[in-house]
Structure 1
Amino acid sequence: MRAARLIRMALLLQSAPGLTAAALARELEVSERTVIRDAQALQEAGVPVRSERGRAGGYFLAPGHRTRLTTLHPSEAETLFLSGLPTALRDLGLSDAAGTARLKLAATLLPSVREAAESSVRRFHLDAPAWFSEPPSPPLLPELARAVWADRAVELSYARPGRAGAPPATVTRVVEPYGLVLKAGTWYAVTRTPDGQDPDGGWRTYRVDRVTALAPAPGAAQPFVRDPDFDLARHWETRSAAFARALLRTTVTVRVSARGLSRLPAVLDGAAVPDALASATAPDAAGLVTLDLPAESEEVAFEQLAALGADVEVLAPAPLRARFRERAAELAALYGAVPR
């Protein structure tokens, strides 16, 4: 395990000279003390690693030195050929470029390694979206992706879901698009406001399919300066749960049967389930429990809870209860009539 880490450290210094001990520690998932020991081990092995102090300091390889550790192992080639999601590449307009890159890479591999890579493609295919819910590609996604590549600030208009049944409200903001994330078939843009003065450091996450307009930010002729410490994967991991909860702006009070309670995780947003179950009362004489369901909107709650049929009764808010009463009357009229 340490040998693999030393190889990775040498490759990191070759591709990104000047990494600090703290940056290397984050990349290698070890302590800074371990980084110092590993640098000494590389020096003893003949790899000319040197450290420099000061604001521009960090770890470097000697000028002109190139490691000879870049030959792919068959297992590494297998992993590399599995690293792209076909749907994501298509949505971003990169399918042709990715296919060309794979052909070029395959042409440079040794025959044994090339066979391993081709074998992985024959055995594994990554299909991210869920069954029966293939989402359309957001029309503005390719343009937003180009802004991400170019570090170009944009002005975007976003349809924010309304609260308590109100219609969606459109907001317009100037943001710096730091990255795009594909989560369960839905694209999200991770952005920061240029001044960074908003709460939470100015970081905001938007569903790309709710972006209604996109244009270059007024007066932003030059690329914005990215935060060098920003890590998209780490950012998403730490903030996605909070983002999912922030979407749940409506509370619906319901009475649910035991069967309906068991089915709640299958119909609700994942972030809503723990809070909903925590609010559940003790079963009444009929075995029914009352609980508060966090939901994105009344419209979303209606679609989700309709799947439970008679196993759920909406108590509040009143407009949502009225919608279920209307739906029940429509179904009673439909099924009470003699089939034609």
Structure 2
Amino acid sequence: MRAARLIRMALLLQSSPGLTAGALARELHVSERTVIRDAQALQEAGVPVRSERGRAGGYHLAPGHRTRLTTLHPTEAETLYLSGLPAALRDLGLSDAADAARLKLSATLLPSLRAAAESSVRRFHLDAPAWFREPSAPELLPELARAVWADRTVELAYARPARDGAPPRTVTRPLEPYGLVLKAGVWYVVGRVPGERPGRDGAWRTYRVDRVTALRPAPGADEPFVRDPTFDLAAHWQAHSAGFARALLRTTVTVRLTERGLRGLPGVADPAGEALARAPAPDAAGRVTLDLPVESEEVAFAQLAGLGADAEVLAPEGLRARFRAHAQALTSVYGAEPDQR
């Protein structure tokens, strides 16, 4: 445990010289007193760690000292080779760079560790896209990725889909692209509109990259934008993705389900889990009535139609009427023998 922490501390000082005891304590999840003791332990082991006072002070390694990667544990080497999605790197235009990095890493490893790292590639493959979806990289993704790397403000045109009776339309706005997220085979860009503070509602925006129809450098943005140092893409996505998904659920339908319909509901409606958790006890006939959040009546019809007679929509009336018309149409088709002419 301590040996791994000492190695991590040396690597942190190599990559970020001048870290204070407080900063190291936060990174290593220990106290500042432990950091001081660990620095002394590294010095005793021959690692030239030195502490400097003053505004530019902190912990440093002696100039020219490099920590060798041959201290990697086999499990750590295996994990490094799994630290990227091949398809995602290809979409971003980074597959060649990733291959070069793996070759350089392999060259620095001891032969035993090299074999362990390469074996992980033969045992694990990470496939991001969902089933029955043809993976395709958005045309503008590599260009947007370059803007993310360079902290360049862009002006993007975004095709907003039809919603709540409003027709589809294209909006154009400037964006400081902070990061890209791959979720179930779909790329999203997370950023903020210049001039809006991160703490305000609406400052952070999330867009599907495949709906970005045009992209260019923002007029007048000749210099990289200044990143908010407190922004953490992974933490932001985790905190807001659930709310983002709930924001898509703009309609609630009331549906009565048989026991078989209850079992089948999670397979046709993504947000069924929460609705089932709040469901009341079955009635005398064994049916359960629950309120199901959905994107729209159109989506609800497509989802619930797959359950057949095991799902009865009670409200809203417009959706119930649509199922009634659908049932009548099916009766007209299947109510007679097929035409053999």
* Matched residue, 2:221: 220
Q: Within the alignment, does 1:147 sit opposite 2:147 as a pair? A: yes
Deviation at 1:107, TM superposition (A): 4.1
User: In the superposition, relative to structure 1, how do residues 2 and 281 fare at CA in structure 2: closer, same or farther (>3 Å)?
Assistant: same
* Matched residue, 1:119: 119
CA distance in 2, matches of 1:335, 1:94: 54
Which amino acid letter does the alignment assign opposite residue 87 of structure 1?
A
User: In the superposition, relative to structure 1, how do residues 31 and 132 fare at CA in structure 2: closer, same or farther (>3 Å)?
Assistant: farther
Deviation at 1:152, TM superposition (A): 1.1
User: In the superposition, relative to structure 1, how do residues 259 and 196 fare at CA in structure 2: closer, same or farther (>3 Å)?
Assistant: same
Where do 1:4-19 residues align within 5 Å? 4-19=4-19
The secondary structure found in structure 2 opposite 1:308 is: helix
Q: Within the alignment, does 1:252 sit opposite 2:253 as a pair? A: yes
Q: TM-score, normalised by structure 2?
A: 0.84
Q: Within the alignment, does 1:27 sit opposite 2:49 as a pair? A: no
CA distance in 1, matches of 2:296, 2:32: 47
Q: Within the alignment, does 1:2 sit opposite 2:5 as a pair? A: no
The secondary structure found in structure 2 opposite 1:307 is: helix
Q: How many residues align?
A: 337
Which amino acid letter does the alignment assign opposite residue 125 of structure 1?
H
Which amino acid letter does the alignment assign opposite residue 219 of structure 1?
G
The secondary structure found in structure 1 opposite 2:254 is: strand
CA distance in 1, matches of 2:57, 2:317: 64
Runs of 4+ in 1 over 6 A off after TM superposition: none
User: In the superposition, relative to structure 1, how do residues 4 and 223 fare at CA in structure 2: closer, same or farther (>3 Å)?
Assistant: same
* Matched residue, 1:203: 204
Where do 1:1-340 residues align within 5 Å? 1-31=1-31, 34-47=34-47, 48-54=49-55, 56-68=56-68, 71-164=71-164, 166-197=166-197, 199-200=200-201, 202-270=203-271, 273-274=273-274, 276-339=275-338, 340=340
CA distance in 1, matches of 2:177, 2:208: 12
CA distance in 1, matches of 2:215, 2:315: 38
Which amino acid letter does the alignment assign opposite residue 283 of structure 2?
D
The secondary structure found in structure 2 opposite 1:290 is: strand
Deviates more, 1:233-242 or 1:80-89: 233-242
Which amino acid letter does the alignment assign opposite residue 158 of structure 1?
Y
Contact 2:156 2:174 in 1 (8 A): yes
User: In the superposition, relative to structure 1, how do residues 136 and 252 fare at CA in structure 2: closer, same or farther (>3 Å)?
Assistant: farther
Contact 1:164 1:250 in 2 (8 A): no
User: In the superposition, relative to structure 1, how do residues 186 and 4 fare at CA in structure 2: closer, same or farther (>3 Å)?
Assistant: same
Which amino acid letter does the alignment assign opposite residue 15 of structure 2?
S
CA distance in 1, matches of 2:332, 2:32: 71
Gaps of 5+ in 1: none
CA distance in 2, matches of 1:210, 1:31: 47
Q: Percent identity?
A: 77
Contact 1:253 1:292 in 2 (8 A): yes
